[in-house]
Amino acid sequence: MIFDRVKSLDAILATAEKKGLERSLGAFQLTMLGVGAVIGTGIFVLTSEAAQKAGPGMMLSFVIAGFVCAVAALCYSELASMVPVAGSAYTYTYAVMGELLAWMVGWALILEYAVGASAVAVGWSGYFVGFMKNTFGVVIPQALAVGPNEGGIVNLPAVVISALVTGLLILGTTESARVNAILVAVKVAALTLFIALTVPAIKATEFTPFLPNGWGTIGVVGAASSIFFAYVGFDAVSTAAEETKNPQRNVPIGLIGSLLICTVFYLLVSAGAIGAIGAQPVFGLGGEALPPGSPELAARCAQIVAGGATEPLVCSHEALAHVLRVVGWARIGNLMGLAAFIALPSVVLMMMFGQTRVFFVMARDGLLPAKLASVHPRFKTPHVVTAFTGIVVTLAAAFLPVGKLADYSNSGTLFAFAMVAVSVMVLRRTDPTRNRPFRTPFVWVVAPLAIIGCVGLYLYLPFVAQMVLFGWGAIGLAIYFGYSRSRSNVGRGVNDLDDNPAFDTAHAAE
């Protein structure tokens, strides 16, 4: 049977106790961790992507995506409070539905984190290019500022920031809770200032027509599928459960608190951007809808600007800074660019760091070679997997636009979130007496809504993004049956790290 290998919750907890991480994070730090991971490219950059699909209706897109994340977060909270260890959705699935599906979830999380880091790097690049131009008058040629899809050759700034973050992670530069809180404060202050300056400038006429492209793939739901990326990262809170004090209480607070804070910010920011300068889509000369990130849209935007018109919001690679410049706050717009310039690399770092955590746990279970998570003797970091991750992130950031990368990342994330919701329901049936410090309210309504929402948003992703999940999954299955299944600790009857000398040797430097 391929679904027969289940790692019991007791075994998972015992393993974490024997080879666990120090518990040092509280509720406030976890909430800041979640806000820091969530607020990034999604709101600073994808606002223009969502506007091209939905126009002013992108406010509904934020609500739809936020609702799906909220019901998923309630499911995450129950499992994270029961199983406060590293590994997130991968670990939960292993305990409930077995090794094969756990492997597929872990494989999907790798897609989420690696491609997500690339998307944030591309988003940072747009703000960096705008900041250099508007502050210092330095113009980076388009050939080196965007990838081939948008008329360039290679996105050099995205390559540089990806390589720098990879180097920092290998050298051992990690983001402490205090540094993270400072960076979160920078992002929150920037968004608060944006709201304060744009909300008074809102004009009701800018919200008409509210649904220029309707509800379809190039419309509100399609925009929700893309803007879902703006919420990705709150699950980093559950990944940190093994390092949390009183995780049964603090992890649910961190998950739900960070999601609520971000949703309020997103709605206010999108309302300010729409009302201040408008957010209508740019159509082709024949009136056809143009997909975000497409060469056709890039060419049409260039035509509009060449004709002397103000650059539309949907054409900007630094949406929020652009809005402030248009409404007369040019210097503050430059400061907005500076805030993104400072804060977004921390999101790249956190996503790449999150992937190393997933690799770590999968290697700990014997599903990946222990060498992948080996620790550098001098820097005390998992240098092999970090370097590999950095190469993948850098290549993707060099050549692909932010919207496509976000969609690819979303396909893996939606699959992982749906499996978490399934796990909650299965555990309620198979292990009803286990202590649940946090119980998902109305679980038989909330969990199915999470599954339906995830599947629905997945179906509205572009076709290529849908196929990325299947292609990536096929590669994962080949690796699982060709390598991982025969070396699995559970399959070999190994219950904890003391029985796994290979892994202990690889981590002797820890």
81 burial level (CB within 10 Å; 0-12, 13-18, 19+): buried
Determine the average pLDDT of the residues in 301-311.
Answer: 87
Maximum Cα–Cα distance across the chain: 70
Q: Is pLDDT of 311 > 90?
A: no
Instruction: Write the DSSP assignment of 486-508 as a string of letters.
Output: HH-TTTTT--SGGG-HHHHHHTT
pLDDT confidence band for 411 (50 / 70 / 90): very high
The whole-number pLDDT of residue 505 equals: 42
Residue that wins the pLDDT comparison between 247 and 115: 115
In terms of average pLDDT, the best of 37-51, 242-256, 282-296, 471-485 is 471-485
At 259-296, the pLDDT tens digits run 888 888 899 999 999 998 988 998 988 888 888 878 88
Task: Give the whole-angstrom CA distance, residue 400 versus residue 158.
Answer: 10
**Tens digits of per-residue pLDDT, 40-93?**
767 877 888 889 999 999 999 999 999 999 899 889 888 877 776 656 678 778
CA 259 to CA 270: how far, in whole Å? 16
Residue-range domains of the chain with CATH: 25-506 (1.20.1740.10)
Among 459, 464, 462, 454, CA closest to 65: 454
Task: Calculate mean pLDDT across residues 329-337.
Answer: 87
Q: Please answer whether residues 435 and 493 qualify as being in contact, where contact means their C-beta atoms are separated by less than 8 angstroms.
A: no
- Model confidence, pTM: 0.83
Task: Find, among 489, 409, 422, 484, the residue nearest to 451 by Cα.
Answer: 422
Residue-level pLDDT at 84 = 65
Task: Report how far residue 227's alpha carbon sits from residue 457's, in angstroms, rounded to the nearest whole number.
Answer: 10
C-beta of residue 161 within 8 angstroms of C-beta of residue 440: no
Residue 196 Cα distances to 40, 201, 207, 230, 315, angstroms: 19, 9, 19, 21, 24
Cis-peptide into 209, omega within 30 deg: yes
Q: What is the mean pLDDT of the chain?
A: 83
Residue 434 and residue 248 in contact, taking contact as beta carbons nearer than 8 Å: no
400-403-407 Cα angle (round to 5): 100
Point out which residues pair with 231 in neighbouring strands: none
Whole-angstrom distance between the N-terminal and C-terminal Cα of the chain?
A: 36
DSSP SS3 for 334: helix
Handedness of CA 388, 390, 393, 397 (dihedral sign): negative
Give the whole-angstrom CA distance, residue 219 versus residue 161: 32
pLDDT in tens, 18-46: 544 456 677 787 787 777 777 776 787 78
In 3D, which of 385, 397, 412, 393 has the Cα closest to residue 470? 412
How confident is the model at residue 20, as a pLDDT? 47
Amino acid identity of residue 245, one-letter, is K
Which of the pair, 309 or 37, is modelled with greater confidence? 309
Residue 508: per-residue pLDDT: 42
- Sign of the C-alpha dihedral, residues 131, 179, 81, 382? positive
Residue % of the chain over a pLDDT of 90: 25
The reported pLDDT for the residue numbered 317 is 81
Question: How far, in Å, are 34, 140, 413 from residue 146 at the CA level?
Answer: 29, 10, 25
Which range among 20-29, 225-234, 381-390, 472-481 has the greatest average pLDDT? 472-481
* pLDDT tens column, 153-162: 999 999 999 9
Rounded CA gap, 153 and 237, in Å?
A: 37
